[in-house]
Chain A
Amino acid sequence: MGAEVSERKLIREAQRGSGEALAALYAMHWPRAQRAAYLVVHDAAAAEDIAQEAFLAAVDGLDRFDRRRPFAPWLHRIVVNRAIDWGRREALRAGGGEPEERAAPSHADEAAGELMPALAQLPPEQRAVVVLRYLLEYTPGEIGRMLELPRGTVNSRLRRGLDRLRDLIEVEG
Chain B
Amino acid sequence: MSEDRLRALLRKEPLPGAAEAKRRGLALVERAYAERRSANRPVLPRLAVALAAAALLAALLLSPAGAAVRSWIGDVFTAGVRNARPALTEVPGGGRLLVQSSRGPWVVQPDGSRRLLGRYEEASWSPHGLFLAAASGRTLSAIEPGGTPHWSISAAGPVSDPRWSPSGFRIAYRAGHSLHAIKADGTGDHLLGQAAPIAPAWFQLGTHLLAYVDRARQLRIAETDTSRTLASTAATAGVTTLGWSADGRFLLELTPHGLWLRRLRLDKLADRIRLGAARRVPLPAGVVRAAAFAPRRHTIAVLLERRGGAGAPHSEALLIDAGGGPPRRLFAVSGRLSQLAWSPDGSRLLLAWPAADQWLFLPVRQEDHLRAIGNIASVFSPGHAGAAQLPQIEGWCCPPAPSGSG
Using CB atoms and an 8 Å cutoff, list the residues of chain A in contact with chain B.
14, 17, 19, 22-23, 26-27, 30-31, 34-35, 38-39, 44-49, 51-53, 55-57, 59-60, 62-63, 82, 85, 88-89, 92-93, 96, 107, 110-111, 113-116, 130-131, 134-135, 162, 165-166, 169-173
Contacts and interface: CB of A to CB of B under 8 A. Distances in A.
A106 to B, nearest CB: 12
Q: List 5 tightest A-B contacts by C-beta distance, closest first.
A: A173-B5, A56-B87, A48-B21, A135-B10, A44-B16
A19 B35 CA distance: 11
A30 B23 CA distance: 10
Contacts of A170: 1
Given A51-B25, A60-B36, A96 B149 contact: yes
B1 A169 contact: yes
Contact of A22 (B9, B16, B33, B85): B33
Contacts, number: 134
Given A57-B89, A111-B13, 17 more contacts: A22-B33, A34-B15, A35-B11, A45-B382, A52-B28, A59-B32, A59-B36, A89-B115, A89-B116, A89-B118, A111-B14, A115-B9, A116-B13, A165-B1, A165-B6, A169-B1, A173-B1
Contact of A23 (B5, B30, B32): B30
B1 A171 contact: yes
Interface in B195-236: none
Nearest to B22: A30
Nearest to B16: A44
B25 A26 contact: yes
B29 interface: yes
Given A165-B1, A173-B2, A23 B119 contact: no
Interface in B134-148: 146-148
Given A30-B26, A56-B89, A169-B1, A19 B34 contact: yes
Given A57-B89, A89-B115, A166-B1, A19 B15 contact: no
Interface of B: 1-7, 9-11, 13-18, 21-22, 24-26, 28-30, 32-34, 36-37, 40, 85-87, 89-90, 104, 112-113, 115-119, 146-149, 382-383
B30 A113 contact: no
A173 B22 contact: no
Contacts of A27: 26
Contacts of A172: 1, 5
A22 B89 CA distance: 18
Given A130-B6, A166-B1, A39 B25 contact: no
Contact of A82 (B6, B10, B113): B113
Nearest to B18: A34
A48 B15 CA distance: 10
Nearest to A91: B147
Nearest to B106: A89
Given A48-B21, A115-B10, A85 B115 contact: yes
B25 A30 contact: yes
Nearest to B383: A45
A48 B24 contact: yes
Contact of B11 (A48, A59, A135, A169): A135
Contacts of B28: 52, 55-56
B87 A53 contact: yes
A75 to B, nearest CB: 12
B29 A59 contact: yes
